[in-house]
Amino acid sequence: MAANPTPTNDDVLMARLTDMARACAEHGEALGMKINTGEVMEAALQAAREAKAEVGRLKKLRGDRRKALREADMAAERVLGRCRLRLVMFYGPNFNTQWDAAGFPDRSTQVPESQAKRSSLLTSLAGWFRGNPALESQDMQATAEICEEAHAAYRAARAAVNRGKSELRTAVVAKNAAMKKLRQRHRSVIRELKVLLADDDARWRLFGLNVPAQPSMPRPVPAAQAEKIPGGGWLLTWKRARHARRYRVQARRPGEEAFENQVTVKGLQARLPELPDNPAPEFQIIAANEAGEAAACGVAKADGQAPPQP
Q: Per-residue pLDDT tens for 41-98?
A: 999 999 999 999 999 999 999 999 999 999 999 999 999 999 999 999 999 999 999 9
Centre a 10 Å sphere on the Cβ of residue 72 and count the other Cβ atoms it contains: 22
Per-residue model confidence (pLDDT) at position 277: 73
Q: Please report the pLDDT score of residue 242 as a whole number.
A: 78
171/11 Cα distance (integer angstroms): 17
- Count the helix, strand and coil residues of the chain and give each as a percent rounded to the nearest 5: 50, 15, 35
Q: With a cut of 50, say whether residue 231 has pLDDT above it.
A: yes
Please tell me the distance from the alpha carbon of residue 224 to that of residue 283, in angstroms, as a whole number: 8
Q: How far is CA 125 from the centre of its chain?
A: 44
- Mean model confidence pLDDT for the chain: 91
pLDDT over threshold 90, residue 5: no
| Residue 165 confidence (pLDDT) | 96
Q: Is the pLDDT of residue 304 over 50?
A: no
Q: How far apart are CA 78 and CA 72, in angstroms?
A: 10
Query: In the prediction, which pLDDT does 37 show?
Result: 94
pLDDT recorded at residue 2: 66
Residue 99: pLDDT above 80? yes
The span from the CA of 155 to the CA of 149, in Å, is: 10
- Band of pLDDT at residue 300, cut at 50, 70 and 90: low
What is the reported pLDDT for 189?
96
pLDDT digits (tens, 9 = 90+) for 197-230: 999 898 998 998 888 887 778 889 998 888 888 8
Note the pLDDT of residue 309. Answer: 34
| Residue 273, phi then psi, degrees to nearest 5 | -75, -15
Query: Is residue 305's pLDDT more than 50?
Result: no
pLDDT in tens, 31-46: 999 999 999 999 999 9
Query: How confident is the model at residue 223, as a pLDDT?
Result: 86
What's the rounded Cα separation, in Å, for the pair 133 and 128? 8
Interval 287-292 mean pLDDT:
85
Close Cβ partners of 256 (under 8 Å, ≥ 6 residues apart): none
Closest CA to 27 of 196, 216, 198: 196
* pTM check: above 0.85: no
Q: Ranked by mean pLDDT, which of 178-187, 232-241, 286-295 comes out on top?
A: 178-187
pLDDT above 70 coverage of the chain, percent? 95
8 A C-beta contact, residue 275 and residue 249 = no
Q: Which one has a higher pLDDT value, 263 or 279? A: 263
Q: What band does 308 get if pLDDT is binned at 50, 70 and 90? A: very low
pLDDT, one tens digit per residue, over 145-186 is: 999 999 999 999 999 999 999 999 999 999 999 999 999 999
Indicate the residue type of 166: S
Q: Which residue has the higher pLDDT, 24 or 1?
A: 24
DSSP string, 267-304: SSEEEETTS--SS--EEEEEEEETTEEPPPPPPEE---
190 has a pLDDT exceeding 80: yes
Q: What is the mean pLDDT of residues 3-8?
A: 86
Stated as kind and residue range, the H or E segment containing 227 is: strand 224-228
Dist CA 40 CA 47 (whole Å): 11
Ranges of H-type helices in 92-114: 97-102
For position 303, what pLDDT does the model report? 55
